[in-house]
Amino acid sequence: MVLKIAIQKSGRLHDDSIQLLKDCGIAVKNGHNQLKTVADNFPLEAYFLRDDDIPQYVEDNVAHIGIVGENVLFEKNKSVDVVEQLGFGKCRLSIAVQKNDQYSDSSYLQGKKIATSYPELTRQFLNVNNIQAEIHEISGSVELAPSIGLADAVCDLVSSGSTLFMNGLKEVQTILKSQAVLVRSKELESGQQALLDQLLFRIRAVKKAKN
């Protein structure tokens, strides 16, 4: 019996994910040159994937559990259970406009064009607020869109805000606060659930020790 975990291969969640396992006493070699690896001292196998693919792998029970940002999880809307918020990878998904624009509330966006890598979450926000706006999906360099005339506003991830600032944008409304979470397949067998319970016990102890 082995518990398979999906972890980001490289990027903002990778190091903290590996460190969390390490703090739990589980040694996983980092996956920069490998796509999967077996832990030394816990029946755990790690798969290193793009974060965007992690919800699907877990929904399909190819990976039993995974670590992914809530932003990606909610955008993808896959059928998995959130087991625990992990306290790292914190950021927010926010609307930003050019720094001289006068944004009072979301009605500003009526009829405008919004560039984002998060079309579903943006659409939900617009629907809830009864705004008709055009969503322009792009996969990277979203912050550039207003200055090159591609969009009037962006909906993008922010942590320090310096990327927005450097691109002449200002954050005007947060639509989602996000952090990394541990997710679980809905199809775990009892043996895997028992391993997850052991892992979770350790994760909670680690979190407690840090507070």
Does 171 contact ligand PRT by CB under 6 A? no
Does 12 contact Zn ion by CB under 5 A? no
Q: Return left, alpha or beta for 189; rule: phi > 0 is left, psi -120 to 50 is alpha, else beta.
A: beta
Q: Which residues does 148 contact at the CB level (< 8 Å), separation at least 6?
A: none
Using the rule CB under 6 A, give the single segment among 64-72, 79-87, 120-128, 188-196 that binds ligand PRT.
64-72
Does 50 contact ligand PRT by CB under 6 A? yes
Query: Which one of residues 71, 106, 185, 192 is an interface residue with ligand PRT (CB under 6 A)?
Result: 71
Using the rule CB under 6 A, give the single segment among 7-15, 16-24, 31-39, 98-106 that binds ligand PRT.
7-15
- Collapsing DSSP to helix, strand or coil, 170 comes out as strand
> How many H-runs (helices) and E-runs (strands) does the chain carry?
6, 11
Task: Find the binding residues for Zn ion in span 36-65 (CB under 5 A).
Answer: 51-52
> What is the spatial distance between Cα 85 and Cα 116, in angstroms, rounded to a whole number?
25
Query: Which one of residues 159, 194, 197, 205 is an interface residue with ligand PRT (CB under 6 A)?
Result: 159
Task: Count residues near ligand PRT (CB under 6 A).
Answer: 21
> What is the spatial distance between Cα 67 and Cα 58, in angstroms, rounded to a whole number?
10
**43: partner contacted, choices Zn ion, ligand PRT, none (Cβ within 5-8 A by kind):** none
Longest dimension (CA), the chain: 59
181 DSSP β-pair partners: 68, 85
> Under the rule (CB under 6 A), what is the footprint of ligand PRT?
8, 11-13, 50-52, 69, 71-72, 89, 91, 156-163, 178
> Under the rule (CB under 5 A), what is the footprint of Zn ion?
51-52
